[in-house]
Amino acid sequence: MANLEIVQIPVLNDNYVYLMHNHDDKVTAVIDPAVSKPVLEVLKEKGWTLTHILNTHHHGDHVGGNLDLKDATDCLIVGAAVDAKRIPGIDVEVGDGDTFLFGSAEATIYFTPGHTTGHICYHFANEKILFAGDTLFAMGCGRLFEGTPKQMWQSLNKLRNLPGDTVVYCAHEYTEANGKFALSIEPENNDLQHRMTEVRKKRAMNQPTVPFTIEDERVSNPFLRPESLPLQENIGMTGKEKHEIFAKVRQLKDNF
């Protein structure tokens, strides 16, 4: 298992950029750099040299810092092959099931379309780390800007089947708003009630609610819970297909 250190950098209104340093191999990656300046400041402070950019998708609040960082550090940019034309400065193109070596740490690439048609996630299985971009949020998931509900459900199902102790780093602090919606459609969920109590405490102190675990999501994220009979009943979707239940939950959230 590689010795990875992750630094969470809050940027813009509610984005998180992550720096990941592999102490064993002296390589450093930034995940979804919305902007470059805060990243360069933390690199300098830590004495790390940026070697990689890992992009999950093409949106500007995930790739906005790519070219500035590449100019400053000559780092390699990794992104989805299917979306290569929309990832600024891409050098390494990856696809579903590929492995990416970050020094001695190995990531498996998951193709997770839905939020966009070319979204990917990076799973470092040995280190129990998932960079989920905008596919999976704490108690939420990304809006369907380009993909279909069925695609997004299949993508989320891949992620919910990962080991429960997988630590998820997503790209936005949306948790409190997501939790309010979750409670509106599954108010009897005790795990959800308990989690929201903790989330409200953290947000009151301006603390991040990210990262979280896959198990946290299985028990409290309505987008991962189409099998929940109370949820099905509450939204009028009893006995429907999982992707249809997901689609209804997403529609309700879009209008919440």
- Residue 36 has which token pair? 């470059």
Answer whether residue 2 shows pLDDT above 90: no
SS3 10: strand
What kind and span of H or E run contains 254?
helix 242-254
pLDDT tens-place string over residues 229-253: 999 999 999 999 999 999 999 999 9
Answer whether residue 25 shows pLDDT above 90: yes
E strand intervals along the chain: 4-11, 15-22, 27-31, 52-54, 76-80, 92-94, 99-102, 105-111, 120-124, 129-133, 136-137, 140-141, 167-170, 212-213
Q: Do residues 156 and 224 lie in contact, with contact meaning Cβ atoms separated by under 8 Å? A: yes
What residues act catalytically?
57, 59, 61-62, 115, 134, 172
For the stretch 86-89, contacts whose Cβ atoms lie closer than 8 Å and that sit 24 or more positions apart, written own/partner, are 86/58, 86/118, 87/55, 87/58, 87/63, 88/63, 89/53
Answer whether residue 100 shows pLDDT above 90: yes
Model confidence at 108, pLDDT cuts 50, 70, 90, reads very high
Q: Do residues 192 and 230 lie in contact, with contact meaning Cβ atoms separated by under 8 Å? A: no
Model confidence at 1, pLDDT cuts 50, 70, 90, reads confident
Q: Which residues of 136-162 are buried (b: 16+ CB within 10 A; e: fewer)?
A: bbbbbbbebeebebebbbbbbebbbeb
Nearest to 122 by CA among 139, 146, 102: 102
pTM over 0.85: yes
Answer whether residue 138 shows pLDDT above 90: yes
pLDDT tens-place string over residues 185-228: 999 999 999 999 999 999 999 999 999 999 999 999 999 999 99
For residues 119-131, average pLDDT:
98
Q: Is 41 exposed, middle or buried, given 0-12, 13-18 or 19+ CB atoms closer than 10 A?
A: exposed
- Residue 90 has which token pair? 């891409």
Residues in a beta bridge with 140: 137
Peptide bond into 38 cis (omega under 30): no
N- to C-terminal Cα separation, the chain: 42
Q: What share of the chain is helix, strand, coil (3-state, %, to 5)?
A: 35, 25, 40
Model confidence at 23, pLDDT cuts 50, 70, 90, reads very high
Please provide the size of the chain in residues: 256
pLDDT tens-place string over residues 147-181: 999 999 999 999 999 999 999 999 999 999 999 99
Q: Which pLDDT score, from 0 to 100, does residue 212 have?
A: 98
Q: What is the 3-state secondary structure (H, E, C) of 16-34?
A: EEEEEEECCCCEEEEECCC
For each of the domains in the chain, give its residue range(s) and CATH number, in order of start: 4-175+210-217 (3.60.15.10)
Separation CA 28–CA 22 (nearest Å): 6
